[in-house]
Structure 1
Amino acid sequence: MSPEAVSPRQAIRQFLASLRNPARILVAISGGSDSTGLLLLLDEAVKAAPHLEISLCAATIDHALRAGSADEAREVETLCASHGIPHIVSTWQGEKPKTGIMAAAREVRYSLLAEAAEALNADLIVTGHTLDDQRETLRMREMRTEQLSSGIADAVLFDRRFWILRPLLFSTRADIRTFLRERGVRWIDDPSNEDVRYERVRMRRQISAEPATEMDIRAAWEERLALSSRAAEWLNCHFRLHGCLLGQVTADGLRQDRAVLDYSLGRLTAVFGGQQFVPGGTQLERLLSFAAGGRLGRMTLGRVVFDLRRDGLYLSRESRGIVPLVLQPGETGVWDGRFQARNGSTAPVAIEAAATHSASLKSLGSSPRTGTGEHHFGHLPKAAWKRAIASAPVLSVAGAPLFQELASGIDLTPYFAPFDRFLTRFDFIFADRLSAVFAMAPYAGLPLRSIDGKTI
């Protein structure tokens, strides 16, 4: 066992002791050694500590990508039934993409897990990620960027609804398999785990041949948490939001700590640009040099226009490249990575950028929720505000303005692309503060009462 590793039994005991209870846990189980070990370790520990008021249920996601996957799901179902654990099998239906299959499978997997959690009345989801997975991830990210990575997070909020926790992230696969062998339990070996077409498989083999120097993952996590907290305070003191469309960093805010600026401006760029990931190191270096240079002007980066004025830095979505979205009655979707819309009306509704449509149409600019009517913002630079309004969502039916009775059935709210689908606990403090700035509901809090023995 490596110096950083924790025995699987100890990891599960610590995890259960840290949970707020009563709690119902959904275990994501594929039938592989990691997830099978997770299920049985939890079952053993829960039955040994009934005072904790914790119950288990389980779900298997059949991606239907290879022959035999349905049979494997039935094997898992039998295992769960033998332990009295309620279990659901959810299958990925429909055609599969020709490219990006791993990323698409991940999206579908977590969506189906969330649906299973709702169906089984679970409070949280757990997955069987291990220390081996963490090492592979760190090495892959190390090869892509010089920026320090904190690797796989031990807790991630999915879709603002369910926390996904990883209790075995400091336990090794070898130790989990030893536990299973001692109990005489077999597991399923997924042949894709040996397919060298996948980067993770190649990295796994490389690490096995040349073990990497261990980094202090917990220390990296603490560093990220501290930075998120400082950035949240920076938001409070130095960031202003105008009509959910135009951001402003005060002139004094641009003179703050470089690490905080790097973190904050990177994430604000992703939010205003409607993109899942922050700009890369080189792009951020350009932005920070521009913001600190003192030369007034504009630059575009990550689909965001940055306008440096004497009173600070303004940022808004550039009006180009905004793709329309059509929602059928009852449908929900995300427009431009910036707004989530639900069509509660009886007609198909189109959402487009104001720059491409008549100003007479209903837009967020006249919404009572945001109050972005132009007469409220006469103190802002006209060009900056005009750009922001041009990127606003406009709603129409068959090219015509919405009637009031239809418009009232459309729910349109800000969406944070880097946070609202997958939010790590490292970024939680900053994201939650940003949610408050946008007058949005707070994110769901962690279902934990302690982390690493420290009360939260």
Structure 2
Amino acid sequence: MFPEDPISPEAAIDRFLASLKTPARILVAISGGSDSSGLLLLLHEALKAAPDLSISLCASTVDHALRRESADEACRVATLCASMGIPHRTTVWQGKKPKTGMMAAAREARYGLLAEAAEGFDADLIVTGHTLDDQRETLHMRGMRTEQISTGIADAVLFDRHFWILRPLLFSTRADIRRFLTARGVAWIDDPSNEDVKYERVRTRRQLSAEGAAETDIFRAWEERLALSSDGAEWLHRHFRLHGGLLGQVMPGGLRQDRRILDYALGRLTAVFGGQPFVPGRKQMERLLAFTTGGKPGRMTVGRVVFDLRRDGLYLARESRGILPLVLRPGEAGVWDGRFEAKNRLAATIEITTQAGAVNEATMRKGSSAPDLGSPGSDDKQDTGDRSQGLPKAAWKRAAASGPAISAGQGLLLPESAQSVDLTPHFAAFDRFLTRFDFTFADRLSAVFSRAPYAEPPLRSIDGKTI
């Protein structure tokens, strides 16, 4: 459940600072609203009172350029930071704004710009002013969509595999933060979009204000999710193999494990092999689990992934339909099909597409423009040598057909030229936003695909427990 008594903002900040690995440089994301302004002032006062802590502050404001007043508001924030001697930078969301999905697009842009600012300040982590009010709203909104217990807003999220975003005030109320600011004579900016009922969160906020929030055992949900991540990582180690970077295999014993672990692991593998940012919906997962545990050989497609159930296990690979090409000019980088990060180090423009049915096992083994992405031998569950040996021919051909092919001009690149195009497996479900709840599973999956480990959280303890 939520804390019986919300944590005071001052106590929350003291606990947060004590949990950090030091030395540390913190980038505070500040919009000028009460939550982020309170976060900045709370951190500033706590660090002034503890000068021996090797922790420093910097700050950044993202101007979304959606309102005429936003530039002036960013200037007011810069003035507040200057009064405290805190380095500050304003970044502006440039370009055309989408007509739909504005909140999601703004969130994506905001964190990307905050990461750029953190890079420029040489910061170690980013903090945001999410509060207990935000948590309650999120849980209510998710509760309207599913009967499953939600973990709500995570207290720690890894962005873009590089910067951890932490939320020190997640169990403090907005009212307490505003009392803190008022006592110090510090004003804040009220964003009018926070009153615009076209947004679901605003409607939810008004509903909760009138009716109150239903009690949710958030800590139990967090503990269960962490346990699932750990159990899922162990399941990967014992029961999952990767062939050639493109074909997954769940060994027969893996299909006889606890249904909750199987649901968790297969859902996330589906997202990874399908290049999707989210796991399939509940009805799709129920169909998939019924199929994979039914014991009857056959095939089915879920989330752009073909599942091929055989006596020697379950094979999974990206279906070859709907794979769009990616064009990269010299020096450009991008993500192809949600599955591979690509960077063009050639002097020519390239196109990455799939060879589909034209690809065969020999092509994958001997080179041309489809590089070896599995790096066999780096993981104890990976195969070596002839990747098609001992594998079902149809399953291997299907996986190979979904692999990347690189061309420039009229033809495929020669192997030596293809080496100038960097291709790295990309996990759409984890690589942009990875909550600490999924960290253990994602990190194990990264090892299976021979990727570098994810950045460890910049914490020495969580909720008073050493990590």
TM range (shorter): over 0.9
Contact 1:332 1:341 in 2 (8 A): yes
SS at match of 1:164: strand
Match of 1:71 in 2: 72
Look up the match of 1:144. Answer: 145
Q: Is the 8 A contact 1:63 1:105 kept in 2?
A: yes
Structure 1 pair 2–230 and aligned structure 2 pair: CA distance change class (3 A): closer
User: For the Cα contact (< 8 Å) 1:363–1:392, is it kept in 2?
Assistant: no
Cα distance in 1 for partners of 2:281, 2:395 equals 25
Asked if structure 2 preserves the Cα contact closer than 8 Å seen for 1:27 and 1:125, the reply is: yes
Matched, 1:419 2:425: no
> How far off is 1:425 after superposition?
0.1
SS in 1 for 2:52: helix
Structure-2 separation of matches of 1:366 and 1:38 = 47
**Using the alignment, how far apart are the partners of 1:344 and 1:66 within structure 2?**
39
CA deviations over 1:406-446 (Å, ceiling 9, x no partner): 32221101000100000000000000000001111000000
Instruction: Answer whether contact 2:20 2:458 (CA < 8 A) is retained.
Output: yes
Given that 1:147 and 1:281 are in contact with CA atoms closer than 8 Å, whether structure 2 keeps it comes out as no
**Pairing 1:310–2:311 present:** yes
Please give the alpha-carbon distance, in whole angstroms, between the structure 2 residues aligned to 1:326 and 1:374.
32
Q: Give the number of aligned pairs.
A: 456
Cα distance in 2, alignment partners of residues 30 and 397 from structure 1: 45
More divergent stretch after superposition (360-369 vs 405-414): 360-369
> C-alpha separation between the residues in 2 aligned to 1:391 and 1:370?
19
Matches of 2:100 and 2:133, distance apart in 1: 26
User: Residues 45-124 of structure 1 correspond to what in structure 2 (within 5 A)?
Assistant: 45-124=46-125
TM-score when normalising by structure 2:
0.95
| Contact 1:334-1:341 at 8 Å conserved across structures | yes
| 1:52 CA drift (Å) | 1.4
Q: Gaps (5+ residues) in structure 2?
A: 378-382
Q: Which residue of 1 aligns with 2:154?
A: 153
The counterpart of 1:364, out of the listed 350, 370, 378, is: 370
Q: d(CA) in 2 for partners of 1:127 and 1:454?
A: 22
Q: In 2, are the aligned partners of 1:362 and 1:396 still within 8 Å (CA)? A: no
- Per the alignment, in what secondary structure is the counterpart of residue 213 of structure 2? coil
The aligned residue for residue 392 of structure 1 is 403
How far the C-alpha of 1:368 sits from its partner, in A, is 8.5
Measure the CA separation in 2 of the matches of 1:323 and 1:117.
33
Secondary structure of the residue aligned to 1:125 is strand
Counterpart contact for 1:353–1:394, Cα < 8 Å = yes
Structure 1 residue 345: Cα displacement: 1.2
Contact residue 244 and residue 387 of structure 2 kept, 8 A: no
Instruction: Give aligned-pair identity as a percent.
Output: 71
Partner residue of 1:25?
Answer: 26
3-state SS of paired residue (2:317): strand
| In the alignment, structure 1 residue 277 sits paired with structure 2 residue 273 | no
- Cα 1:225–1:367 change in 2 (3 A) is closer
Q: Which moved more, 1:373-382 or 1:33-42?
A: 373-382
Number of the residue aligned with 1:444:
455
Q: Does the Cα contact within 8 Å between 2:244 and 2:373 map onto a contact in 1?
A: no
| Structure 1 residue 369 displacement after superposition | 4.3
Matches within 5 A, 1:145-294: 145-294=146-295
Corresponding residue for 1:338?
Answer: 339
Equivalent position amino acid for 1:289 in 2: A
Letter in 1 for 2:370: L
SS in 2 for 1:51: coil
Match of 1:323 in 2: 324
Distance 2:40 2:372 in 1: 52
Distance 1:320 1:109 in 2: 33
| CA shift digits 1:23-43 (9 cap, x unpaired) | 000000000000000000000
**Partners of 1:367 and 1:192 in 2: how far apart?**
46
Counterpart AA for 1:281: R
RMSD: 1.7
Q: Which amino acid aligns with 2:391?
A: L
Helix, strand or coil at the partner of 1:66: coil
Equivalent AA in structure 2 for residue 36 of structure 1: S
2:369–2:413 contact (8 Å) kept in structure 1: no
**TM-score, structure 1 length as denominator?**
0.97
Whether the 8 Å contact between 2:359 and 2:397 is mirrored in structure 1 is: no
Quote the offset at 1:280 in angstroms. Answer: 0.9
Residues 417 and 4 from structure 1, CA distance in 2 versus in 1: closer, same or farther, beyond 3 angstroms? Answer: farther
* CA deviation profile, 1:246-283 (whole Å, cap 9, x unmatched): 00111110000011001000000000000000011111
